[in-house]
Chain A
Amino acid sequence: MHWIKKNTKKAHNTTEQNYPQQRRSDRHEKLKWHAVASWTWDAHDDACGICRMAFDGCCPDCKMPGDDCPLMWGACNHAFHLHCILKWVNSQSPRPQCPMCRRDWKFRAE
Chain B
Amino acid sequence: MSSSGYGQKEKVLSRIAANRLQKELTEWQVNPPCGFRHRVTDSLQRWIIEVHGAPNTLYEGEEFHLQVDFPEHYPMEAPQVVFMQIPPLHPHIYSNGHICLDILYDSWSPAMTVSSICISILSMLSSSTVKARPPDDDQYVRNCRNGRSPKETRWWFHDDKV
| Interface residues of A, Cβ cutoff 8 Å to B | 49-53, 60-61, 84, 87-88, 91, 97, 99-100, 102
Interface membership of chain B positions 3-44, coded 1 if the CB is closer than 8 angstroms to chain A and 0 otherwise: 000000000000110011001100000000000000000000
Provide the bound-state CA to CA distance between A53 and B20, in Å. Answer: 8
A60-B15 in contact given A52-B23, A88-B76 (Cβ < 8 Å): yes
Give the shortest distance, in Å, between A89 (CB) and chain B (any CB).
10
Number of A-B contacts (CB under 8 A): 31
Asked if B110 is at the interface of the complex by the 8 Å CB criterion, the answer is yes
Residues of B within 8 A of A53 (CB): 19, 23
Q: Which of B15, B24, B76, B111 contacts A91 (CB 8 A)?
A: B76
Contact B111 A99 (CB under 8 A): yes
Contacts of B16 in A (CB 8 A): 51, 60-61
Rounded to whole angstroms, the CA-CA distance of A53 and B110 in the bound complex is: 13
Interface string of B104-130 (1 = CB under 8 A from A): 000101110000000000000000000
B110, A60: Cβ atoms under 8 Å?
A: no
Query: A50 contacts B111, CB within 8 Å?
Result: yes
The minimal Cβ–Cβ distance linking A82 to chain B, given in whole angstroms, is 14
Select B110's contact among A50, A61, A102, beta carbons within 8 Å: A50
